[in-house]
Amino acid sequence: MKDYNFSEIEKKWQDYWRKNSIYKVTEDKSKPKYYVLDMFPYPSGAGLHVGHPLGYIASDIYARFKRLNGFNVLHPMGYDAFGLPAEQYAIQTGQHPAITTEQNINRYREQLDKIGLSYDWSREVRTSDPAYYKWTQWIFIKLFHSFYNYETNKAEPINNLVYVFENVGFSEEINNTLTKNIEHDVKSFTADEWKSFTEKQQQDILMNFRLAFLAESYVNWCPALGTVLANDEVKDGVSERGGYPVERKLMMQWSLRITAYADRLLSDLDKLDWTESLKETQRNWIGKSEGTSLKFRLLSSEFLVENRNNLGGTSIEVFTTRPDTIFGVSFLTLAPEHELVEKLTTPDRKEAVEQYVTLSKNRSERERMADVKKISGEFTGSYAIHPFTGKQIPIWVGDYVLAGYGTGAVMAVPAHDSRDYAFAKHFGLECPVVILPPVDWDFEDQSYDEKNGKAVNSDFLNGLETKAAIKKAIEEIQKQELGKGKTNYRLRDAIFGRQRYWGEPIPIYYKDGIAYTLEENELPLLLPEVDKYLPTESGEPPLARAKDWKYKKPLSNSSQGERTNPAYQTAASSMWDSLKQNAQEHRKNPTEDESALWQYLKGEQLGVKFRRQHAIGFYIADFVCLDKMLVIEVDGKYHEQQIVDDQLRANDIQQQGFEIIRFTNEEVLVDTENVIEKIKAKLNSLPSRKSAQVLHNKEDLERASHKSGQGEDLGGASYPYEHSTMPGWAGSSWYFLRYMDNKNTNDFVSKEAVDYWKQIDLYVGGSEHATGHLLYFRFWTKFLFDLGLIPFDEPAKKLINQGMITGRSNFVYPISFSISLNVSPTGTDEEENFRNKILLEEQIAGEFEVFYVSELYYKNWESHKESVLNRVKEELKQHMIKRNYSIIEESIRVRKMHVNINYVLNDVLDTGAYKINELYNYPDATFILEDDGENQIYRCGWEIEKMSKSKYNVVTPDDIVADYGADTLRLYEMFLGPLEQSKPWNTQGIEGVHRFLKKLWKLFYDADGKLIVIEGEPSKKELKSLHKLIKKVGEDIENFSFNTSVPAFMICVNELTELKCNNKKILLDYLVCLSPYAPHVAEELWEAMGNKTSITKAYFPAFNPEYLIEDSFSYPISINGKHRTNIEMGMDMAQAEVEQIVLADEVVQKWLEGKQPKKIIFVKGKIVNMVI
C-alpha cells in the first residue's frame, strides 16, 4: 500500500472485528475482570455530534488498555430508548414511537461503528425492549412489596411490617424506631384493631410504608407535556425537556421513597472515587440539615373555640436548626398549604387569608421563583404560646415558607434570620435580639445570621456561645417534651408516574380501589396499542385509550411473589451458596423428630413428592412439597425471640408463595398420626402447582399472541390497569446489571454473572446526570443489595465526567426596513423580475430582508446606519426604476441570525453558496461586504454555544471520519484537552494530528509503498525514545490524562524519524502503545509486519527504566533563584565536586562578581542554586 489510505483501512478492520467477534467477552474466571461503562445514550433523531463520542473514545481507550494488560474487560453499550422526543414526534406524525426509536438506534449504531469502538454488541440492552422492561417492572414490584426498616437500616419485605401490625399494632414508639415515617398521618392502632380493619383500610395504611407507593402530593405538573415531572427534571421552573412552564398541582401519584435512603446516599459518597464537585452536587441535592422539632401550643381564646373546631390540645410543630434563638421568636409563619391555616383563621381575617392562600396556590413555580424578593403574607388572627416565656405569638401565613420542607411551619426569629427579618420589617413586626454578635452590628439594617456570638435576653441560655446554646436548648426542649432532635432532608420522594405513552407500564391493577401488583410470572405487562398518543378527552393518560386493556385474574389462587421455572429453584439467588451448604449439613444431621416425620413423607407416600431441608428465599424449610407449594416446619420449644425469628422466616417463605403448617417436635414424636392427618388435609385443600403452571403458561401465550394483554377472558373478573407509565430514569437505574447477562429470561441477572462482574470499575458520562440518574442509580442498587439480590451497594466505584464539547456558531446580519409603494404594480416591466412577488408579500408584511451586512457594520451599527441606508437606496434604484416607492427610514434595523456553518470558512461567508441553498426565494439578495486588507469579504460573527440543530453549528463525527478517518478523530478528540474540561470544537488543530499519522506511516513505508522495516537489535537511542513513550502512555491512561499521550506519540515519531529508525522491534511495541488510541492503523501496520493475530490480543510492552538512565545531566545553574546557565555534569557527581566545577565556570564567575556564595544548594539530577 502506497499511502495511508484511512478509509480503506478502517473499513477493513471494522469488518474484521465484527466477523471475528473480537470484542465478545465471557465470564472467564482465569482472568481478572474489569467493567468499563459509558452512560448509554438516548437515541435522538438528530444523531451524534462530535461531542458525544468524547467520553466513548476515552472509555474505549481505557478498555483496550486494560485488555492489553491481561484483563477480561466488560465494555458494553445500549440505548435508553424510552423518552419524550419519540413520543412528541409520534403525536405529530402518528408514527409509533417504537419505529422512530428503532430508526434512531440504527443511525446511532452506524455512527458508533464508524468510530471503531470496542463494544461487545452481543450484550446490547434497550430499555424499551419488553425482555428488558419486564425486569424493570419486576423491580418495581419488589419496591412495592418492601418497606424501609430503620432498625436494621435496610429495605425489607412489607410482610415483616404486617407481622408487627398483627402482633403489636402500630404506635408512635414503633414509628420512632422502625418506620420513622413523618409525612403520613397513620394513627396508632392495636393488633386487634389491625385485624378488624377491612382489606382496603389495611392496604391504605400499608401504602404509607411501601417503597413504591401511591400518594396525594404536590407535584410538578407540566401542562404542555401533559405529565408530572420529578424535581430533577425541572430547571428554573420550566421542564428540562422542551422548556415548558411547570406548575404545582395536588395529585394522586406513584412515587418512590428515595428519602428512606437519603442518609445512606449521603454517607456512602465517602467511599466513592468520584469528583469532589459531583459529590458536592449530590450532597447539596440531598440537603441534610440537623435541628430540632418544636411544638407551640395554640392560645384557645374565647372566639376561637366558639366558632371553630376545638383547638384546645392542638399545637403547631416547627422545625429549626437554631433552637438557641428560641427567645427571639416574635411570630410563627405557616405555608399557605398548611393544614391548620383554615382552622386558625379568625372570622375577621377569613377573607384576606383565603384570598391569599388561593393566590399562592395558583402561582406557578416559576412565578413564585421570579418573585422571591417580593414579600407577601397575611395574619391569621390567632396566637400561639411561647413554650418558655408564655408570651402570645401571632401566627402568620406566608409563601416564603415551603409546604414540603420540614413541617411547613417556621418559628420566625427576625433578628437572626434574613428571611424572617425581611418579613418582619415588611409587616412591622418585632425583632428581639437574642445573640450578641462579636462585631459591631446594626440591627436596623440587617439580621445577624451567623452561628457565632453570645446568647442574651434568653433566660437559661444567657451567656452561652451559640454552639453550647444550641445543645442546651435541645436538652431543655427534650426535657420538657416540647420536641426532639430531628434531621431533615431537602431531597423529596421521587414522583414515578408519567402521564405519557412511551414508557414502561406500571404493573399494577386496581380492584375495589386497592392497588395490586401483577404476579411476577405475568410480566412483562406489555405497552398496549393506542389510536392516538394523546391524553383522552377526560384528561386520562394515553394508556386509557387502549381497548379492552384490563387485568384478567387467572383462575389459580397462587399468591404473589411466586417464582417461575425451574420449580425447585426457590432460594434467593444471592444466598444460594451459603444456603446450599447449610442445607446439606442439616440433611446429614437430622433431629429425632425430623427423622420420624420423614419416614412418612419420603417417597410419594402421600401422593406428592416432598423435599427435605430445601432452601426457600433466605431460609431453609424443613420439608417442602413443591407441587402444592406447602412447607412443613417442625419447631423446638417456643420462646419469645424464636417466635419473632420464626415469623420473619415464615413471612419470607410465604412471600415466595408457599403455605406453611407447623408442628412442635413434641407433637411429631408423640402424636404422629394426627400430624400426618393434618398434613393430608392441608394437601387436599391446595391446588396443584403443575396445573396452575399450565394455566399461567397458557395466559402468557395468549398475551404474547394478542400483544398488550388483550387475551380472552379466562373466566375471572377483569380489573383496570394503572394508566401512567414509568419515567425515563426507571430503565436506566439498573441497566448496568443487565449487560452482565442480557439474555437471561429467568432472572434480571444471574448470580454467577453478577458475582463475577460486580460493580462498574469505571463509569464515564456527562455531569448533567449528577442529580437525576446518578441518585436513582445508586438508590436502586442499594435497594437490590438490601434484598440480597446483588453483592454490592454502590453501582460505580469510579466515575468520570467528560466535559461538553461546544460548537462554534456563525452569524449573519440581515437588515430589515419597511417600504411604501405608492403605485400598485403593473404589467410586465423588467422590475417585475426583481422580487415582484416578494415585494408584494413583504409589502403586506411591511418589512423585508434581502440585505445582509458584514460583521463590521453590525458591531458599530449606529455609525454605519447612514451609509448602509444609502447603499440600500442605490441598490433599490437599479431594480425599481419605474416604481414609485419610498423607504421608511426610521424603520431600518439590523439583527443577528444563525447561519449554517457549512457556508462559512474561517468566519468568511461563501455568499454564493449561501444564496443558492438558503435564499432561493431571494435570488438578488445583496451582501454589503467589508475590506479585510486584500479582498472584499462578508465576515460572520461567531459565538461558542451548545451544539444544536437549531443553531446550525453541529459537526458530526461522520464528516470528520470521512475527511480524516476515525483514528484521527479519536486522537484529536483526546488531544483537545483534559477529558473533564468543557471545550469548543475547533477543526484547526485536526490537520496536525492527521499529519502525525501520515508521518507514522512513513516509518513503515517509503514513497514507493515499499515496506522498509528491518530486523535486528535496536539502538540505545531508539530504546530510550520508545521506553519514554511506554512509561508516559501507561501512566497517562491510568490517570485518565489522555490528552498528554498524544504529544508523547508525536514526540516519539519525531524522534524515530530523526533517528531514521525502521527497527521492527521498536515499531511493534510502538504500535501496541498506539493501538488503544488509533486501533485501525495499528492493526494494519501490525499485520503488515507479519502478525497473524489481531493487535488487540497483544500485551502492552513492559517499561524498562534502565533505558532512560543518563550518564550526565545538563544542570541548570541559578544564582539567587534566577536561572543563569547550564553546565553538563556527571549524574553520579557529589556536591563537593559539582561546586568546584560550577564555581570555576566563566558565566558563574561573571555573575558572582568576585563574591563567594553564602550557600550552595545542590539537588542531584535537578538543580544547582547559589545564594550570594
**Among candidates 376, 396, 217, 375, which has minimal Cα distance to 296?**
396
Question: The C-alpha cell of 1070 is what?
Answer: 510502538
Please enumerate in sequence order all residues whose Cβ is within 8 A of that of 441, keeping only pairs 6 or more positions apart, or say none.
448
Binding track, positions 457-496, relative to RNA; x by CB under 7 A: -------------------------------x-x------
Question: The C-alpha cell of 743 is what?
Answer: 439474555
Q: Is the CB of 300 or the CB of 1041 nearer to RNA?
A: 1041
CB of 22 to RNA, least distance (A): 30
> According to DSSP H, which parts of 115-184 are helical?
130-144, 158-168, 172-174
CB of 572 to RNA, least distance (A): 38
Q: What's the CA gap between 243 and 237, in Å, rounded?
A: 9
Q: Could you tell me the CA-to-CA distances from 784 to 158, 327, 531, 754 in Å, in that order? A: 15, 47, 37, 12
- In the three-class reduction of DSSP (H, G, I as helix; E, B as strand; rest coil), residue 1094 is classed as coil
Q: Binding to RNA (CB under 7 A): which residues in 334-353?
A: 335
For RNA, which residue of 244, 405, 510, 922 counts as binding (CB under 7 A)? Answer: 405
Please enumerate in sequence order all residues whose Cβ is within 8 A of that of 569, keeping only pairs 6 or more positions apart, or say none.
563, 746
Residue 371 found at the interface with RNA (CB under 7 A): yes
Binding track, positions 539-568, relative to RNA; x by CB under 7 A: ------------------------------
CB of 1167 to RNA, least distance (A): 4
**Among candidates 274, 264, 229, 222, which has minimal Cα distance to 729?**
229
Q: What's the CA gap between 1117 and 1119, in Å, rounded?
A: 7
Question: The C-alpha cell of 266 is what?
Answer: 449521603
Q: Binding to RNA (CB under 7 A): which residues in 1054-1113?
A: 1054
Binding track, positions 999-1028, relative to RNA; x by CB under 7 A: x-----------------------------
CB of 1166 to RNA, least distance (A): 4
Q: Binding to RNA (CB under 7 A): which residues in 703-722?
A: none
- In the three-class reduction of DSSP (H, G, I as helix; E, B as strand; rest coil), residue 515 is classed as strand
Which listed range, 347-355, 454-462, 465-473, 991-999, lies at the site for RNA (CB under 7 A)? Answer: 991-999
Binding track, positions 1114-1153, relative to RNA; x by CB under 7 A: x-x-x-xxxx--x---------------------------
Q: What's the CA gap between 42 and 88, in Å, rounded?
A: 14
Cis preceding-peptide flag for 1076 (omega within 30 of 0): no
CB of 731 to RNA, least distance (A): 22
Question: The C-alpha cell of 1046 is what?
Answer: 498524544
Q: What's the CA gap between 784 and 268, in Å, rounded?
A: 16
Q: Binding to RNA (CB under 7 A): which residues in 731-770?
A: 767, 770
Residue 998 found at the interface with RNA (CB under 7 A): yes
> According to DSSP H, which parts of 846-989 are helical?
855-859, 861-879, 911-918, 957-964, 966-975
For RNA, which residue of 388, 509, 813, 975 counts as binding (CB under 7 A)? Answer: 975
For RNA, which residue of 372, 844, 1102, 1109 counts as binding (CB under 7 A)? Answer: 372
Burial class (CB in 10 A: 0-12, 13-18, 19+), 42: buried
Q: Is the CB of 369 or the CB of 1089 nearer to RNA?
A: 369
Strands, E, within 605-682: which ranges?
611-616, 619-625, 630-635, 659-664
Residue 408 found at the interface with RNA (CB under 7 A): yes
Chain centre distance of CA 840:
53
Fill in the amino acid letter for 727. P
Q: Binding to RNA (CB under 7 A): which residues in 846-865?
A: none
Residue 280 found at the interface with RNA (CB under 7 A): yes
DSSP 8-state class, residue 465: B
CB of 41 to RNA, least distance (A): 19
CB of 3 to RNA, least distance (A): 10
Residue 991 found at the interface with RNA (CB under 7 A): yes
CB of 903 to RNA, least distance (A): 14
Q: Give the N- to C-terminal CA distance of the chain in Å, as an integer.
A: 64
Strands 796-801 and 904-905: unpaired
Binding track, positions 1040-1059, relative to RNA; x by CB under 7 A: -x-xx-xx--xx--x-----
For RNA, which residue of 484, 547, 896, 995 counts as binding (CB under 7 A)? Answer: 995
For RNA, which residue of 26, 152, 267, 284 counts as binding (CB under 7 A)? Answer: 284
Q: Is the CB of 962 or the CB of 1167 nearer to RNA?
A: 1167
Q: Binding to RNA (CB under 7 A): which residues in 587-606?
A: none
- In the three-class reduction of DSSP (H, G, I as helix; E, B as strand; rest coil), residue 99 is classed as helix
1094 φ, ψ (degrees, to nearest 5) = -60, 150
Q: What's the CA gap between 691 and 942, in Å, rounded?
A: 72
Chain centre distance of CA 541:
26
Which listed range, 63-71, 369-377, 672-680, 948-956, lies at the site for RNA (CB under 7 A)? Answer: 369-377
Q: Is the CB of 18 or the CB of 374 nearer to RNA?
A: 374
Q: Binding to RNA (CB under 7 A): which residues in 621-660?
A: none
Binding track, positions 49-78, relative to RNA; x by CB under 7 A: ------------------------------
For RNA, which residue of 153, 198, 201, 277 counts as binding (CB under 7 A)? Answer: 277
For RNA, which residue of 406, 505, 727, 965 counts as binding (CB under 7 A)? Answer: 406
Q: Is the CB of 477 or the CB of 1095 nearer to RNA?
A: 477
CB of 416 to RNA, least distance (A): 9
For RNA, which residue of 899, 993, 1072, 1095 counts as binding (CB under 7 A)? Answer: 993
Question: The C-alpha cell of 1123 is what?
Answer: 536561572
CB of 1141 to RNA, least distance (A): 16
Residue 439 found at the interface with RNA (CB under 7 A): no
Q: Binding to RNA (CB under 7 A): which residues in 417-436?
A: 417, 419, 422
For RNA, which residue of 354, 986, 1091, 1157 counts as binding (CB under 7 A)? Answer: 986
Q: What's the CA gap between 1148 and 1142, in Å, rounded?
A: 7
Binding track, positions 175-214, relative to RNA; x by CB under 7 A: ----------------------------------------
Residue 989 found at the interface with RNA (CB under 7 A): yes
Burial class (CB in 10 A: 0-12, 13-18, 19+), 685: exposed
Q: Is the CB of 989 or the CB of 1130 nearer to RNA?
A: 989
Which listed range, 137-145, 177-185, 402-410, 816-824, lies at the site for RNA (CB under 7 A)? Answer: 402-410
Bridge partners of 1122?
Answer: 1119
DSSP 8-state class, residue 432: -
Task: Give the gyration radius of the chain's Cα atoms.
Answer: 38
For RNA, which residue of 174, 402, 676, 1143 counts as binding (CB under 7 A)? Answer: 402
Sign of torsion over alpha carbons 856, 857, 861, 864: positive
Chain centre distance of CA 913:
43
Q: What angle (nearest 5°) sits at the alpha carbon of residue 847, between those of residues 845 and 850?
A: 125
Q: Is the CB of 340 or the CB of 575 nearer to RNA?
A: 340
CB 569 within 8 A of CB 747: no
Provide DSSP, 1142-1171: HHH-HHHHHHHTTPPPSEEEEETTTEEEEE
Provide DSSP, 556-587: ----TT---SSTT--B-GGGHHHHHHHHHHHH
Residue 771 found at the interface with RNA (CB under 7 A): yes
Which listed range, 53-61, 805-813, 846-854, 1038-1046, lies at the site for RNA (CB under 7 A)? Answer: 1038-1046
Query: How many residues can be counted in the chain?
Result: 1172
Binding track, positions 286-325, relative to RNA; x by CB under 7 A: -x-x-x---------------------------xxxx---
CB of 397 to RNA, least distance (A): 12
For RNA, which residue of 155, 410, 523, 892 counts as binding (CB under 7 A)? Answer: 410
